Every structure is written in structure tokens, then in C-alpha cells.
């Protein structure tokens, strides 16, 4: 089949699937969300067919089905996806047009997001991985990443984060903007001044700009070929393809906000009649189009029958794939290529030697793992030449090079989205977020990363370890640098959370995280980084600690105290006054948390106090107390108690700070009250 035959075939198929859905399957209630790609087909199909390098990858959005079809998705899969059937890309877990696809005939399609604008930074991560891997693996040389998006998405922060990274580093990324002049009902004039993102980027450095009539076969083909060639040879390019949106945003959108003239103009720009004329102009027989149309109608009808015959996914399977469960993904992380160093057996720590700082424990573990694992990359703001604002990466760039330990632009969304793309390309990203509060701009990427394995029914995964200094500082507090907020991440699906309180546990938990399979937050408490309570002898280069195993740090028979992070030290100090009466458990990891240890101890002691630095309402203590209330109801001899920072930010003034943090005195008083109860 010639290229233009193929283009026609995919465009016609996409149009027919939209017709089937809008005329039959959606009104019948079989497809719940219908996003027509009418008008966008030609540009997308031409793009997909030009991505012929085995390591090319694309991030797509909900209107990208023509691109998917031209990249190897079958019609039956496409319809089954809309009908939420088994055998579709997400096995019924995600909206039918939120796609992902391991490579078939064209680009590999990275897991899409329902968040507009979230598709850009993972594409940049893939592009950076291309550069990294191409140094030693020739099969990555010449590959590119492509991100597809609408005009509305160019107003989203992810677009700018990605554009900045791609152009600053001259990465092989194509920003493919399908400008249909609307984001639902909002005209592009409200997304970018004058409505033309390409014109507005004229002064942007290191960026080739191209514009195409995405409904004109010759122009679109020419500009797409130029764009792809430029990205392969030189670096970033943004191609703005003007396309009509022939239908509403979704099936239920009647486009009442467009004038009748606008709607008529859109129809007049339909790329399909122009494609037909183009084929005739190229000398293909005129009747070929109608013949293809008929053939495709039959094919789509058969696909609909097959999709409807596909079984419903087993509801019991909804619980699978949030975390790694032993089944390696097809794409992402180190398992598909068998490159993950095995986890050492959980040997007891070597207890001899000088005590080292928490910070040195982290640095040394990173150094050991960087040496052992060539896929591991460390990055973040100031982590390169400076060695991090806390010093955790000091000297690592000098030792391992700027490809492996590098500074990033000041964009947490960029850091996290890039990490997702790097992980999908088979690297192990270890980003640092400078302070817990400054992860806020990355939240969209964090939540999407957490559900990525689940959303793709285990086909994709993005394991990574995100290091974040948290909590108040040894000199003072403040609302920006002193946040812990582990409860927010405990509620963020698909993430594990480690929260060690001394150097030995930091080594063991960080190593386990770095040899693991899931996105993991690793919290480093600021008040422990270089202070005596955080110091321990270095436990050894092979030391690893399992997640979900609490440590018993004080033993007693009358009260169980559960804590984590820096508050453990406060609990220990308070418990010293009640020797033999108070058990103190250090959870060490929040997700998973060691419910069993807590339950066993509360059954034994009959009383529980949970203490943490995170704020009170919705704090993780509530979760523990709810579990204990259920599991230990008949064993309880006192009300279940918790101590936390009240629902306030941490103040800058030191006495004021100390007044809100759970103090040793307050913990001691609460212990006393419970013991006396």
C-alpha cells in the first residue's frame, strides 16, 4: 500500500469509528464518553506514519485516536476501549480515548493523562532518556519524542515547563499542536494572545517553528516531514497544525457557542474531501476512495461486533496493579530489560564504626547505587555543581558526570513529569524536591505517576524515588520550608512513603526504594540531617530494610506510642520518664504501614497514643486510630489518643514554632494521662 493509501485508510477508519459511536454506540449507552476526532484525522495520521524509529515515543491526548490507529491500534480495540471491555488498552479502567500502547508499527505511546497539559513533560523525559541511552546504545540514536496537544493545552503550565526544558537542553522533542480554535467552548484568543501560539513563540530560543494547514494534505505532509527531520537532526520544534473541529468537544456538546457561520466554515475545511481530491490529483483511481469507504464500513462494523462480544473485565481485577505485584510491566522501569539490581537480603546493620550524619548516609547510599546501577540518574534544583541546598548530592556530579547527576530548571512539574518519561524509557530517576512545600506545582504529575501502572492494567510502570527534605529546621520553622504533610501523599494512590529518623534506617530504606518497583517518596527530616539524634554508624553498602516493618525503639507494658520521623525522638525522650511502661514504635514507612505491629502492641498494652508533626485534621494518626478502634476494640483500656501540630502552618518565630509542634512536655503529659487512666 502506498503512503497515501494508508493515510486515506486510517482517516476513513477514524471517521467511521466516530460515526458508529455518535450514531449508535453512544446513544445506546454502550460508550459513555465520546470524543470525536473529526477534522483532526489527516494531520495526526501523517504524523504517526512519519514516526518510524523503533525508539520514537509519543504522548497523546483524548482526541488522538487517528494517531493511535495509524500507530497500530486496531478498530476492535478502539471500540472496546470506549465500551470499557476486556482486551482494550486499559482493560476497562480508563476512559476509552485515554490511551497507552507498547510499540507496534509506529511510535510507542506513553500513558496519556486526562489532565490537559500533563502530556508534555513526560515526553521531554523520554527525549532526555534518548540522549542518555544513545551514548552507549546505538539503537537509541536518532529517536525522538512527540507530544500531541490542542491549542487550549498550550496555556497549561505543563506545556511551558516542557518547552523550557526541551529548548534549554535542545532535546529531540516535537510539540505537535492541533489548533482547532477552541478548548471546549473557550476560543484560542483566550489561551494565547492573538490566538496563535507559534507566532507568540517567535523569539523563543532553540525552537524551530512551523505552521501547517492540517486539513491540506500536501501542506500538512510537507510541514510534518520538515518538523520530524528537524527534531531528529537538530532538536526542538513546535508545529502548529490548524484543524477544524467538526463535532462538539464531546458527544454532549452541541457547539451552541459557535456561530452558524463558524460551524459552516469548519465543515468547509473538512480534511477528508481534500484528501480524496489529493489522491485523485496524485493519479489514484477516483473510485478508490468510495471502494475504501465501503470496505472500511464493513471492517468497522465487524470491529464493533467483536468489541461488543468482548467480555466485561472481571470486577475483582480492579484491585490489581496499583503497586508492583510480581508481574513485570512491558514498558518502564528496569524490569523489562532485566536491569534492576536485586535487593540484598535484609541483613542486620553493621553496628560498628563512627556515627555518621543522616545526610552523609543518604549521600553515601546514592553514591553506592550510582556506582552499581548505570540506569540511575539524580537530578533537581541545585543538585549538580552545588551538591544540593542541603548537601545530599555533594560531589556526586564530579564523580558521575553531568549526564547522571544534573541540575534542572526551576520547575517541579518539569522535574516530576520528566522523571515519569525517564522511568518509562528504562531509567531510574531519583529527583530531589528542595522542600516538601515546593512539591506543590508537581502534584498533577505525582498523582498521574501514582496511578500509571493501574491505569494501563500493568503494561506500563514508572518506578522512581523522590527525595524530599521535610519538617521544621534545627534553627527555625516557617510556612514554606517546614511542611511534612505525609498524609497528603498517604492519600495519593500508588506511592510508597519512607520516613526514616536516623542514618542507618535512611540507608536501609533508601536502598530498598532504589531497588524497588514503585514510585516512592523518601522523606528526609531537616532537623535530623546533621544533628546528633539522626546519627548512627554506617550500616554497610548492602544494608536494606523492608518497607512496612516498624521498629520497636522503647519497650513497655502499659501504653503503646506510635510515631515516625523526628517526632520519634521526642517520644523517646518523653518515654524515658516511664521506663518499662511505654512501648514506642517507629513506623519507618507510612505506605505501607505496619498495622500488625501496632495491633499486637495495643492488644498487649490496652492503650494507644499516636504522635506526629503533620497537622491534626486528616493526619495519618486518624488512619491508625481507625484501624486500632476496629481491630482492638475489646482490648482497649483508654480512649485512643493523638497528638499533632494543630491545624496551623509552622511559625517562623522559634518560641511560637515550639508552641505548635508536639513538644516533649506535651507528649509526656499525654503519656502520663493515659498511664493514669
Ligand X SMILES: Cc1ncc(C[n+]2csc(CCOP(=O)(O)OP(=O)(O)O)c2C)c(N)n1
Q: Which residues bind ligand X (CB under 6 A)?
A: 63, 114-117, 149-153, 180, 182-184, 245, 249
Burial 210-241 (b: 16+ CB within 10 A, else e): bbbbbbbbebbbebbeebbebbbeebbbbbbb
Q: Tell me whether residue 98 or residue 468 sits nearer to ligand X (CB atom).
A: 98
The answer to whether the CB of 493 falls within 8 A of the CB of 669 is no
Q: How many CA atoms lie within 13 Å of 652's alpha carbon, on the beta-carbon side?
A: 2
Identify the residue whose cell numbers are 520519634. Answer: 568
In sequence order, the 6+-apart residues with CB closer than 8 A to the CB of 164 are 409, 411, 414
Q: Tell me whether residue 169 or residue 177 sits nearer to ligand X (CB atom).
A: 177
Q: Tell me whether residue 148 or residue 439 sits nearer to ligand X (CB atom).
A: 148
Q: Tell me whether residue 413 or residue 518 sits nearer to ligand X (CB atom).
A: 413
The answer to whether the CB of 561 falls within 8 A of the CB of 585 is yes
What is the number of other CB atoms lying within 10 angstroms of the CB of residue 349?
A: 18
Q: How far is the CB of 40 from ligand X (least distance, A)?
A: 7
Residue, CB closest to ligand X: 150
Q: 481, 525, 569, 612: which is the annotated catalytic residue? A: 481
In sequence order, the 6+-apart residues with CB closer than 8 A to the CB of 132 are 377, 403, 422, 427
How far apart CA 414 and CA 417 sit, in angstroms, is: 5
Query: What one-character-per-residue DSSP string does 299-317 give?
Result: HHHHHHHHHHHSPPPPGGG
Q: How far is the CB of 629 from ligand X (least distance, A)?
A: 38
* Percent of the chain as helix, strand, coil, to the nearest 5: 45, 15, 40
Q: How far is the CB of 181 from ligand X (least distance, A)?
A: 8
Q: Tell me whether residue 116 or residue 331 sits nearer to ligand X (CB atom).
A: 116
Cα dist from 406 to 374, 376, 394, 436, whole Å: 15, 12, 12, 20
Q: How far is the CB of 651 from ligand X (least distance, A)?
A: 34
Ramachandran sector of residue 53 (left: φ over 0; alpha: ψ -120 to 50; beta: rest): beta
Cell of 645: 501540630
How far apart CA 14 and CA 7 sit, in angstroms, is: 11
In sequence order, the 6+-apart residues with CB closer than 8 A to the CB of 293 are 12, 16
The answer to whether the CB of 642 falls within 8 A of the CB of 671 is no
CA 557 from centroid of its chain's CA atoms? 44
Q: How far is the CB of 420 from ligand X (least distance, A)?
A: 16
Q: Tell me whether residue 183 or residue 235 sits nearer to ligand X (CB atom).
A: 183
Helix (H, G, I), strand (E, B) or coil at 110: strand
Q: How far is the CB of 245 from ligand X (least distance, A)?
A: 6
Q: How far is the CB of 64 from ligand X (least distance, A)?
A: 9
Q: How far is the CB of 178 from ligand X (least distance, A)?
A: 6
Q: Based on the residue annotation, tell me whether 491 is a catalytic residue of this protein.
A: no
- The set of catalytic residues is 481
Amino acid at each position: 500500500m502506498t503512503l497515501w493509501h494508508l493515510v486515506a485508510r486510517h482517516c476513513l477508519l477514524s471517521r467511521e469509528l466516530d460515526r458508529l459511536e455518535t450514531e449508535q454506540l453512544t446513544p445506546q449507552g454502550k460508550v459513555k464518553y465520546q470524543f470525536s476526532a473529526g477534522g483532526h484525522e489527516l494531520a495526526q495520521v501523517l504524523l504517526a506514519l512519519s514516526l518510524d524509529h523503533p525508539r520514537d515515543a509519543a504522548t497523546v491526548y483524548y482526541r488522538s485516536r487517528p494517531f493511535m490507529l495509524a500507530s497500530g491500534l486496531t478498530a476492535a480495540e478502539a471500540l472496546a476501549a470506549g465500551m470499557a471491555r476486556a482486551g482494550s488498552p486499559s482493560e476497562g479502567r480508563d476512559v476509552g480515548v485515554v490511551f497507552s500502547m507498547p510499540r507496534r508499527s509506529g511510535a510507542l505511546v506513553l500513558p496519556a493523562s486526562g489532565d490537559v497539559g500533563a502530556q508534555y513533560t513526560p515526553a521531554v523525559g523520554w527525549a532526555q532518556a534518548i540522549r542518555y541511552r544513545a551514548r552507549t546504545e546505538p539503537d537509541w540514536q536518532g529517536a525522538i519524542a512527540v507530544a500531541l496537544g490542542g491549542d487550549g493545552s498550550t496555556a497549561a503550565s505543563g506545556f511551558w515547563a516542557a518547552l523550557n526544558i526541551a529548548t534549554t537542553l535542545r532535546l529531540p522533542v516535537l510539540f505537535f499542536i492541533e489548533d482547532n480554535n477552541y478548548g471546549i467552548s473557550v476560543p484560542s484568543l483566550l489561551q494565547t494572545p492573538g490566538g496563535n501560539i507559534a507566532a507568540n513563540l517567535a523569539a523563543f530560543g532553540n525552537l524551530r517553528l512551523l505552521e501547517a494547514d492540517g486539513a491540506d494534505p500536501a501542506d500538512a505532509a510537507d510541514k510534518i516531514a520538515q518538523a520530524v527531520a528537524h527534531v531528529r537532526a537538530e532538536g526542538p520544534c513546535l508545529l502548529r497544525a490548524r484543524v477544524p473541529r467538526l463535532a462538539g468537544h464531546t458527544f454532549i456538546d452541541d457547539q451552541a457557542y459557535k456561530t452558524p457561520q463558524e460551524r459552516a466554515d469548519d465543515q468547509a475545511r473538512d480534511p477528508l474531501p481534500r484528501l480524496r481530491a489529493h489522491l485523485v490529483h496524485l493519479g489514484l483511481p477516483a473510485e478508490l476512495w468510495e471502494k475504501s469507504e465501503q470496505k472500511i464500513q464493513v471492517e468497522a462494523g465487524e470491529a464493533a461486533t467483536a468489541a461488543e462480544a468482548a467480555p466485561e473485565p472481571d470486577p475483582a481485577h480492579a484491585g490489581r496493579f496499583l503497586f508492583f505485584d510480581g508481574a513485570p510491566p512491558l514498558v518502564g522501569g528496569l524490569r523489562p530489560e532485566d536491569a534492576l539490581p536485586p535487593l540484598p537480603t535484609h541483613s542486620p546493620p553493621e553496628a560498628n564504626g563512627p556515627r555518621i550524619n543522616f545526610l552523609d548516609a543518604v549521600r553515601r547510599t546514592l553514591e553506592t547505587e550510582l556506582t552499581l546501577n548505570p540506569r540511575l540518574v539524580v537530578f533537581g534544583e541545585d543538585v549538580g555543581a552545588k551538591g544540593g541546598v542541603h548537601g545530599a548530592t555533594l560531589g556526586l556530579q564530579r564523580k558521575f558526570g553531568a549526564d547522571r547527576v544534573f541540575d534542572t530548571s526551576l520547575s517541579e512539574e518539569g522535574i516530576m513529569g520528566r522523571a515519569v518519561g525517564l522511568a518509562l524509557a528504562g531509567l531510574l530517576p531519583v529527583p530531589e524536591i528542595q522542600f516538601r512545600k515546593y512539591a506543590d506545582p508537581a502534584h498533577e504529575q505525582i498523582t498521574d505517576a501514582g496511578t500509571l501502572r493501574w491505569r494501563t492494567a500493568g503494561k506500563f510502570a514508572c518506578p522512581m524515588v523522590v527525595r524530599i527534605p521535610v519538617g521544621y529546621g534545627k534553627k527555625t520553622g516557617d510556612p514554606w520550608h517546614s511542611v511534612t504533610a505525609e498524609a497528603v501523599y498517604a492519600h495519593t494512590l500508588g506511592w510508597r512513603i519512607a520516613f526514616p529518623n536516623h542514618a542507618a534506617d535512611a540507608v536501609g530504606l533508601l536502598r530498598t526504594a532504589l531497588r524497588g518497583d514503585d514510585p516512592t517518596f523518601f522523606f528526609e527530616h531537616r532537623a535530623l540531617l546533621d544533628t546528633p539524634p539522626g546519627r548512627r554508624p554506617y550500616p554497610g553498602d548492602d544494608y536494606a530494610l523492608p518497607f512496612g516493618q516498624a521498629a520497636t525503639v522503647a519497650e513497655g507494658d502499659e501504653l503503646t506510642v506510635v510515631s515516625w520521623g523526628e517526632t520519634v525522638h521526642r517520644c523517646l525522650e518523653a518515654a524515658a520518664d516511664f521506663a518499662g511502661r511505654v512501648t514506642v514504635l517507629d513506623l519507618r514507612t507510612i505506605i505501607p504501614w505496619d498495622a500488625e505491629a501496632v495491633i499486637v502492641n495495643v492488644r498487649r498494652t490496652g492503650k494507644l497514643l499516636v504522635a506526629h508533626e503533620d497537622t491534626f485534621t486528616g493526619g495519618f494518626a486518624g488512619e491508625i486510630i481507625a484501624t486500632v478502634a476496629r481491630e482492638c476494640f475489646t482490648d482497649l483500656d483508654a480512649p485512643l489518643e493523638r497528638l499533632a501540630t494543630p491545624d496551623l502552618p509552622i511559625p517562623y518565630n522559634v518560641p511560637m514554632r515550639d508552641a505548635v509542634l508536639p513538644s516533649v512536655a506535651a507528649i509526656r503529659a499525654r503519656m502520663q494521662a493515659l498511664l493514669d487512666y
